[in-house]
Amino acid sequence: MKLYYLLSAAAVALIAMSASAQPGQNEPAAPEYEFTVIKENPVTSIKNQYRSGTCWCFSALSFIESEILRTKGQEVDLSEMFVVGHSYHDRAVKYVRLDGHLNFAAGSSFGDVLHVIEDYGIVPQAAMPGMNYGTEMPEQAELDAALKGYVSAIAKNPNRKLTTAWVNGFDGIVEAYLGAYPETFTVDGAEYTPESYRDNLGINTEDYVNLSSFAHHPFYEQFIIEVPDNWRWDSAYNLPIDEFMEVMYNAIDKGYTIAWGSDVSEKGFTRNGLAVLPVEEKKAAAGSDQERWVGKAADEPKEEAKGELPEEQVYDDEMRLDGYNRKTTTDDHGMHIYGTAQDQNGTKYFIVKNSWGDAGKYKGVWYASDAFVRAKTLNIVVHKDALPKHIAKKLGIK
């Protein structure tokens, strides 16, 4: 299986970070953007990760759901918590093997989702809603803390020799919160296992590639993106930023969507569905995942004023690497890009499906400018056929 690290993140995601954007109360109102859609590819309905660090899973499964729409014309709703539970299991085993020297938190990567689907299969949301702890939407701080405390205690076992019971104990905690993994379930009158359902949907994880763009490693080769949420140590193909952006535009134009890992701890990533540069960093707010990264509604300007759209800074390879080295660009949030648009000045944007429910001016959708995506993207996952042929050749991808 090819390795694809994702980004993961924001979703509390990466969660474990404390930087975010909170527009100040004395800042002027933003100008009014007018967007015209260039291309939109099919996506499933917008979900809400709420108070959980699972953006990496919501966005990657949204991407897979669009792939099923593209290849089979079938709309499905896949279970995020089936993936989250198996991911936590795999990470616990690795964490203990490494005596605790591994990131163990809510955030993860797109590649993690692909690993779980390949190793365990997948189930529909109805077969495993994953809400076994008394709330209507995901609130997982207690689960995250319980699992971290458990594996930390096991990893510090003074006897060094582990019993055969600890993995079952860990899985028991996961099941108490997320429910049992279904061995079989029925969809449209047919019975499936998680593996047979994956195969029936035509999901082949070998078809997907992880791409990044950082100049501290050779271009056109693979490297491991050095962020804590890449706990599986998956690798990504490295492209110069101009060719990286070419892949993104080509993918949308050819009918493919994109799993997108980005830094959103920027003032320009707003509550109201906009992601632009230049930006000014602010400290994160507490509360839901949405509040963590973009602040509370009370912090937003009360009204928008029409005016001249701001000029944006365009990053090159050197500037991207500087941001990565200084940690002003890191793995905050995973989202799903499914289209392109332009504003009244002709500036191009990517249309982004978020996992914060019906939030913002565009009801769960964000418009991310070319400049923002160029500067703040950590990585993407796309179908290998979405690559322009000359770039696929350079990467040795057939």
The predicted pLDDT at position 15 comes to 32
Q: Determine contact, residues 236/5, Cβ cutoff 8 Å.
A: yes
Three-state DSSP class for 348?
A: strand
Mean pLDDT of 294-310: 58
**Strand 274-275 relative to strand 190-192, pairing:** unpaired
The predicted pLDDT at position 285 comes to 53
Mean pLDDT of 141-151: 98
Q: Examine the pLDDT at 20 and tell me if it is beyond 60.
A: no
| CA 162/CA 251 separation, integer angstroms | 48
| CA 372/CA 308 separation, integer angstroms | 18
| CA 175/CA 222 separation, integer angstroms | 36
How remote is the C-alpha of 144 from its chain's centroid?
18
pLDDT in tens, 199-235: 999 999 999 999 999 999 999 999 999 999 999 999 9
**Strand 208-212 relative to strand 235-238, pairing:** parallel
| CA 242/CA 1 separation, integer angstroms | 27
- DSSP H helices in the chain: 55-72, 80-97, 110-120, 141-155, 166-178, 194-201, 241-253, 289-294, 317-326, 370-376, 389-395
The predicted pLDDT at position 311 comes to 87
The predicted pLDDT at position 266 comes to 86
Three-state DSSP class for 42?
A: coil
Confidence of residue 289 (pLDDT cuts 50, 70, 90): confident
Domain boundaries, the chain: 19-395
| CA 384/CA 398 separation, integer angstroms | 8
The predicted pLDDT at position 18 comes to 33
Examine residue 28 and say whether the peptide bond preceding it is cis (omega within 30 degrees of 0): no
Q: What percent of the chain has pLDDT over 90?
A: 81
Classify domain 19-395 by CATH number.
3.90.70.10
pLDDT in tens, 329-339: 999 999 999 99
Structure tokens at 315: 């990053």
